[in-house]
Structure 1
Amino acid sequence: MSGTSTPGPTPDALELAALMCSRVCHDLINPVGAIVNGLEVFDSSNKEDDKEFALDLIRKSAKSTSARLQFCRIAYGAAGSAGSQIDLGEAQKMTRNHLEDEKTKIVWNLPHVLMAKNRVKLLLNMLVIAQQAIPRGGQLIVDPVGEGDTMGFRIRAAGTNAREPQNVAAQLNLDNAGSVSAHAVQPYYTALLAQACELKVSLAAEPDAVVVTAA
């Protein structure tokens, strides 16, 4: 019996949709759970300090949930009719609201133009991958590759102990579709978007940085 595993079948449309839904639920469960916890503290305590703490937790978690939903709607959802375009300025705003915090800063060097929906979705999914490369925070530097309707993207994730996210390079290879799970579906979806845009996504390690490129 061979010790080499054979990849399973490529996920069909229904399975891919289910995996993406699982991914979105995973992204939302923490901030939504924090809102529930805040409400429980608020309802169960008569102390003003506890109630103020609970309200602050609810405010922050609600803001985080809203930012994630807006980002996910564009990155993973339909976000308009087929063939529609999305303003890169709006994409920048959603990216900052979702990914930027006291540890992670974004340097956005893309032009403020309308771009095909799938290209913007590709960009946002590349940013999700790039953020995973800097677990201690750092900079996400977003640059164009080329220009116009065929523009690609280069994202340099720079920070202490930057490293390629585990197994992502393999998951970006569409030949490995049989190993796709809810955990691995986002890089696979990124590769599908790149294919639809006639681009290919690659990872490259640099000293204290990882570069994600679609070209």
Structure 2
Amino acid sequence: MSQLKDLSSLDLSALVASRVCHDIISPVGAITNGLEVLDEEGSEDMREFAMDLIRKSARQASAKLQFARLAFGAAGSAGAEIDLGDAQVVATGFMENEKSDLDWQVPRNLMPKNFVKMLLNLILIANQCIPRGGVITVTMEGEPADPEFTLSAKGLNPRIPLGMQDTLSGEEPERVDAHSVQPIYTVLLARECGMKLSIVKDEDIVRITALKGA
């Protein structure tokens, strides 16, 4: 990825920040709209509608931010470990606002933070593969310090997003921007973990694996 060699840490952090902001603009905007309705409408029905919108959007924004904090944030100092139970909580909270369900089959352990960050980012990719909804099953083999992950995204008309297969295999991306930075960031995490990523489609399932040997 020659473009990545020229990508500074400042540019990478800016692109990741843009991605996070993009994800929370919608629920935050809905909260603002709800508050405007409260200010302008006098009917009890509209006020109740506005309050329901605010509550739902606030929960959604909170879930997205908690997920982003683990998936993209520092999450402690270098070499820190993250409780997989905490990762499950934020992943489940994030998926509650999506069309698909999460079947988390990873046992609770402490795990080096980059493995956990990579796993959460792989869930984001798996979610893109079943835009009409389905189930994402997450499994792990091996020890927490040396794991291998498999994510199976099963749903109606699953697909591999354009360019995703090439990006995860380590090929040069066509562009590096706020849209493409998330899978690129996932690849960089995998490299730090010494792992190789792959994504394949088999009938109604898209499988993503993170295996040793990168």
TM-score, length-normalised on structure 2?
A: 0.93
Q: Which residue does 1:159 correspond to in 2?
A: 155
Partner SS for 2:195: coil
In the other structure, the counterpart of 1:3 is: none
**Residue 146 of structure 1 aligns to a residue in which SS?**
strand
From 51, 54, 61, give the equivalent of 1:55: 51
- TM-score of the pair, normalised by structure 1: 0.93
Shift of 1:168: 1.4
Counterpart CA distance in 1 for 2:171 and 2:98 is: 38
Partners of 1:148 and 1:93 in 2: how far apart? 18
State the match for 1:71 in structure 2.
Answer: 67
Partner of 1:93: 89
C-alpha separation between the residues in 2 aligned to 1:160 and 1:85? 36
Q: Deviations over 1:28-87 (max 9, x none)?
A: 110001001111111110011001000000000000000100000000010111111101
Q: Secondary structure at the match of 1:165?
A: coil
- Whether 1:205 aligns to 2:213 is no
Aligned equivalents of 1:12 and 1:86: distance in 2?
Answer: 27
Q: 1:180 matched to which residue of 2?
A: 176
Structure 2 gap segments, 5+ residues each:
none
Contact 2:109-2:144 within 8 A present in 1 as well: no
> Post-superposition shift, 1:99?
1.2
Tell me the amino acid that sits aligned with residue 16 of structure 2: M
Calculate the aligned-residue CA RMSD, in Å. 1.7
Aligned residue pairs total: 210
Percent identical across equivalent pairs?
Answer: 50
Moved over 2 A (4+): 6-10, 100-103, 145-148, 170-175
**Aligned-residue offset at 1:147:** 2.7
Q: Matched residue of 1:98: which SS?
A: helix
The SS at the match of 1:154 is strand
- CA distance 1:49–1:131, shift in 2 (3 Å): same
2:126 & 2:89 partners in 1: Cα distance? 17
Contact 1:10 1:177 in 2 (8 A): no
Q: Give the letter aligned to residue 121 of structure 1.
A: K
Q: Which amino acid in the other structure matches residue 28 of structure 2?
A: V
Is 1:35 the counterpart of 2:36? The answer is no
Alignment of 1:80 with 2:76, yes or no, is: yes
**In structure 2, distance between residues paired with 1:161 and 1:121:** 28
Q: Compared with structure 1, are the counterparts of its residues 10 and 170 closer, same or farther at alpha carbon in structure 2 (3 Å cutoff)?
A: farther
Name which of 21, 24, 42 aligns with 1:25: 21
